[in-house]
Amino acid sequence: MSLPWCNFTKAIVRQIPSTLAGAALRREEPTSPIDLSRARTQHDRYVKVLRELVETVVVLPPDDAYPDCVFVEDPAVVCDRRAVVCNLGHASRRGEAAPIRDALRRLGVSCFDMSSDATMDGGDVLFTGREFFVGLSERTNQKGVDFLATTFSDYPTHTVSVKDSLHLKSLLSMAGPSAIVVADTPAGKNLWQQIVQSAAHQYECIWVPDEKAANCLYINGTLVHRAEFPNSVKIFESLSCRRIEMSATELSKADGCLTCCSLLIT
Ligand code: GLY
């Protein structure tokens, strides 16, 4: 099935600032420090893969004042050439939105700024092409959900409660037009139950044993997934779609994942 959502033509990414390794937000201290050079090599490959999959990739320069600015998914939610520009849930990240808004406008996307009492990180928003699921989390509040629901009122918006992870998409992501890959963990199972209870459409669930493997990119028929988790890779290998494997060990140490590093535009 071909949904307009599956036909991305453009992507926005942002290079990694030199402050990432020391100052990016993280829920837990990683067992080894972030290797900045390796992070940049892995990110370069990510951008190269995006260039294979969409026509235009806009690469924004980094800003050392914002250690998390590589995670461009969080400052905006784009759908059908409209974008909600978020008040990011963590105060240290608020300034990341302005250059993203400018880049979106240059690409012809209409931007809608949230009211000041609303907060949202794009990592809490799963768009399936038919409906939105938005995680109420440490970063996203009900007013943020309400703003998104009003802006994209042509689609249903459902709220789910995110516990034990940073974002909704830390535990699940789209893996096909009707398929959602979900971490086979108590938190992932809880989210999947909430989705099944509220969804207007029926989705296939692809369970993966590794939490960090549950965040994939599904772009124009290709599934981009993490390479570092052999048991989850076996499950991806059994799917019939085209696949690209990718390592993201370093950004992962700052709770980054594959969807976090791009904004996709149809
Ligand atoms: N390090 C990503 C975030 O916490 O927003």
Residue 75 has pLDDT above 80, yes or no: yes
Distance 255 CA to ligand 1 centre (A): 6
pTM of the predicted model as reported, rounded to 2 decimal places: 0.97
Task: Note down the domain range covering 147.
Answer: 4-265
Ligand 1 contacts CB of residue 68 (under 6 A): yes
Contacts of 213 (CB under 8 A, 6+ apart): 181, 183, 225, 226, 228, 229, 232, 233, 236
| pLDDT digits 0-9 by tens, 119-157 | 999 999 999 999 999 999 999 999 999 999 999 999 999
30 lines ligand 1 (CB under 6 A): no
> Which of 14, 28, 71, 257 has most ligand 1 atoms within 8 Å of CB, for mutation?
71
- Integer CA distances (angstroms), 60 to 14, 24, 74, 103, 187, in order: 4, 18, 15, 8, 34
pLDDT for residue 217 is more than 90: yes
Of 43, 79, 86, 167, catalytic: 167
Give the dihedral of Cα atoms 265, 71, 119, 29; nearest 10 deg.
150
Does the annotation count 260 as an active-site position?
Answer: yes
What total of structural domains would you count in the chain?
A: 1
Find tokens 């949202």 and name the residue: 120
pLDDT band at 5 (very low <50, low <70, confident <90, very high): low
pLDDT band at 30 (very low <50, low <70, confident <90, very high): confident
Q: Which atom of ligand 1 sits closest to the CA of residue 254? A: 1
State residue 1's pLDDT score.
52
Q: Which token pair is 147?
A: 């703003």
Q: Quick check: CB of 20 below 6 Å from ligand 1?
A: no
20 C-alpha to center of ligand 1: Å? 10
Write the DSSP assignment of 75-118 as a string of letters.
TEEEETTEEEEP--SSGGGGGGHHHHHHHHHHTT-EEEEPPTT-
201 is catalytic: no
List, for residues 170-215, the tens digit of each pLDDT value: 999 999 999 999 999 999 999 999 999 999 999 999 999 999 999 9
CATH of the domain at 258: 3.75.10.10
How far apart CA 134 and CA 226 sit, in angstroms, is: 23
In the chain, at which residue ranges do the beta strands (DSSP E only) sit? 10-14, 56-60, 76-79, 82-85, 110-113, 125-127, 132-136, 157-161, 172-176, 179-183, 204-208, 217-219, 222-226, 242-246, 263-265
- Residue closest via CA to ligand 1's atom 1 equals 25
Tokens 């963590």 appear where?
90
Whether the CB of 254 sits within 6 Å of ligand 1: yes
**Percent of the chain with pLDDT strictly greater than 70:** 98
Q: Which amino acid is at 198?
A: S
**Ligand 1 lined by 260 (C-beta under 6 Å):** no
- Give pLDDT, residue 6: 72
Q: Give the residue whose CA is nearest to atom 4 of ligand 1.
A: 25
pLDDT of 3 strictly over 80: no
Q: Report residue 36 as tokens.
A: 């900045």
